[in-house]
A = this chain, B = another copy of it.
Amino acid sequence: MARFKARNSKQTPCEQCPLRALEHFREFAPDELAFVSNFKTGELAVDAGTTILAEGSHSAHLFTVLSGWGFRYKMLDDGRRQILNYMMPGDLIGLQGSLIGEMQHSIEALSPVILCVFERDKLGTLFRNYPDLAYDLTWIAAQEERILDENLLSIGRRSALERAAYLLAFLYQRARAVHLFKGARVSIPITQQHVADTLGLSIVHTNKTLKKLGERKLIRWADRGCDILDDKGLMKISGWEGHPERKRPFI
C-alpha cells in the first residue's frame, strides 16, 4: 500500500498554520489551539498516486490536508471505480473510518500531498472537553453529506454535459476558497479518467463531453489537468448555484 516518506514531525506548528490565516476558516480559542496542537502528532508527505487510506483498513489516524489534492473512491469487485469526492487543503480525512471502525472507501493523492496526522484515540478527549470542536466535527460530517447529496443529484439526474459542468464548477469554487489558484494559471490536477469515474461515464464519452465544454470556451484541457476559463458559464449550464461563502470550521 502506501509508501510514506519520512518527515520531521511538526514542521508546521499549528500556531503558524498557513491555512488558519485564510479568512475562509473559523478562528480558534486559545485553549482549542493548544489542544489541536497537542492532538497533532506529526506530518506526512506522500507522492501523487499514493494510496493514503485503503478500504477495509483500520487506521489509528485522522488527517487534515495541509497542501495538495486527493480523492475518495470506492470500487466494485470487477474494478469499476466511483470517485465520491475530492480533498483539498483544510479537508479532514478518515473521520468516517475513525467513528465506524473500518474504512469503507479509499483515499488517493492526486498531487504531492502533505498531511497533518492526528491520533484517533484522542477523539474521546476532544468530545469530552472541547464541545465546540466536537460541534465542528459534526458540522464537517454534515457538510460532506451535503456535498454527496449534490453529487448524487448530479449523477442521477443531470445530462452528461450538465454533470461535467457541475463537477468543474464545484471543484473550481472549492479550490478558489482555499486559495489554490494564486497564480494566473487555474488548473485542476486530474485526468479525464478521474472525471469519468466521478461522473459515472465512460472515458470516451467523457472526452467528447469535455470537448464540447472546450468548444464553448468554458474550459481548456491542459497537460494532465483542467483550466477553468468561465466558471459562471459552467454554473449556468449545470444549473448549480454554488455554495454560499461562509466561514468553515477546520481542525
Residues of A within 8 A of B (CB): 72, 74, 76-77, 80-82, 84, 95-96, 99-100, 104-105, 123-124, 127-128, 131-132, 134-135, 137-139, 141-146, 148-153, 155-158, 197-200, 239
On whether the beta carbons of A152 and B153 are closer than 8 Å, the reply is no
Which of B74, B137, B138, B145 is close to A150, meaning CB atoms less than 8 Å apart?
Answer: B74
On whether the beta carbons of B148 and A149 are closer than 8 Å, the reply is yes
Q: Complex formed: what's the CA distance from A155 to B74 in Å?
A: 12
Q: A131-B127, A145-B145 are in contact. Are A139 and B76 (CB under 8 A)?
A: no
What is the count of identical protomers in the complex? 2
Whose C-beta in chain B lies nearest to the C-beta of A156? B200
Residues of chain B lying within 8 A (CB to CB) of residue A132? 127
Residues of chain B lying within 8 A (CB to CB) of residue A84? 149, 152-153
Residues of chain B lying within 8 A (CB to CB) of residue A100? 139, 142-143, 146
List, sorted by A's number, 25 A–B pairs whose CB atoms are closer than 8 Å.
A72-B149, A74-B152, A74-B153, A76-B153, A76-B158, A76-B239, A81-B157, A82-B152, A82-B156, A82-B157, A84-B152, A100-B146, A124-B131, A127-B131, A127-B132, A127-B138, A131-B131, A138-B141, A141-B142, A144-B145, A148-B148, A148-B152, A152-B152, A155-B200, A157-B200
